[in-house]
Amino acid sequence: MQSLWREEEAAQYSGDLGLRVYTSRLLGRDPDLVLHGGGNTSVKILEPNLFGEAEELLYIKGSGWDLEQIEAAGFAPVRLNPVLRLATLSHLSDPQMANALRTSLVDASAPSPSVETILHALLPHKYVDHTHADAVVTLTNSVGGAERVRFLYGERVVVIPYVMPGFQLARLCAELFPAQAGPQTIGMVLLNHGLFTFGATAQQSYTRMIELVTEAEEFLQRQQAWTIALPAQQRSPAPARTARAALRRQLSAAAGAPLLLSFDDDDLALHFARHPQVETIAQQGPATPDHVIRTKRLPLVGRDVQSYVDAYRTYFAQHQSSSAAPLTMLDPAPRVLVDPEWGIGAVGRTAKDAAIAAEIYRHTMQIILRAEQLGGYRALSAADLFEMEYWDLEQVKLRRPQKQPPFTGEVALVTGAASGIGRGCAESFLARGAAVIGLDLNPAIPELWRRPDFLGIQCDVTDGDAVEAALEKGLQRFGGLDMVVLNAGIFPPGRRIAALSSEDWRRVLAINLDATFALMRSVHPLLALAPATGRMVIVGSKNVPAPGPGAAAYSASKAAVTQLARVAALEWGDDRIRVNVVHPNAVFDTGLWTPEVLQSRADHYGMTVQQYKTHNVLHVEVTSHDVGELVAELCGPLFAKTTGAQLPIDGGNDRVI
Q: What are the catalytic residues?
A: 554
Determine the Cα–Cα distance for residues 194 and 200; give it in Å rounded to an integer.
21
**Helix residue ranges per DSSP H, 162-320:** 167-180, 202-222, 241-255, 267-273, 278-281, 289-295, 305-319
Helix axes 392-399, 94-103, angle to 10 degrees: 70
User: Measuring CA to CA, which residue among 169, 134, 138, 157 is closest to residue 34?
Assistant: 134
443 CB burial (10 A radius; 0-12, 13-18, 19+): exposed
User: Measuring CA to CA, which residue among 123, 133, 127 is closest to residue 158?
Assistant: 123
State how far Cα 440 lies from the chain centre. 23
Determine the Cα–Cα distance for residues 311 and 291; give it in Å rounded to an integer.
18
Query: How many CB atoms are closer than 10 A to CB 50?
Result: 7
Strands 54-61 and 75-79: antiparallel
Determine the Cα–Cα distance for residues 350 and 480; give it in Å rounded to an integer.
13
Q: Kindly give, in sequence order, each residue whose CB lies less than 8 Å from that of residue 302, ignoring residues fewer than 6 positions away.
A: 337, 338, 339, 340
DSSP 319: H
Judged by DSSP in three states, 389 sits in: helix
Strands 187-190 and 194-199: antiparallel
Please give the full DSSP string across 196-240, using - where no structure is assigned: EEEESSHHHHHHHHHHHHHHHHHHHHHTT-SSPP-PPPPPPPPPP
Are the C-beta atoms of 623 and 637 separated by less than 8 Å? no
DSSP 355: H
Half-sphere exposure of 277 (CA within 13 A, CB side): 10
Determine the Cα–Cα distance for residues 259 and 354; give it in Å rounded to an integer.
9
Determine the Cα–Cα distance for residues 243 and 476; give it in Å rounded to an integer.
11
User: Measuring CA to CA, which residue among 363, 371, 360 is closest to residue 140?
Assistant: 371
DSSP 644: S
User: Measuring CA to CA, which residue among 636, 623, 629 is closest to residue 428?
Assistant: 629
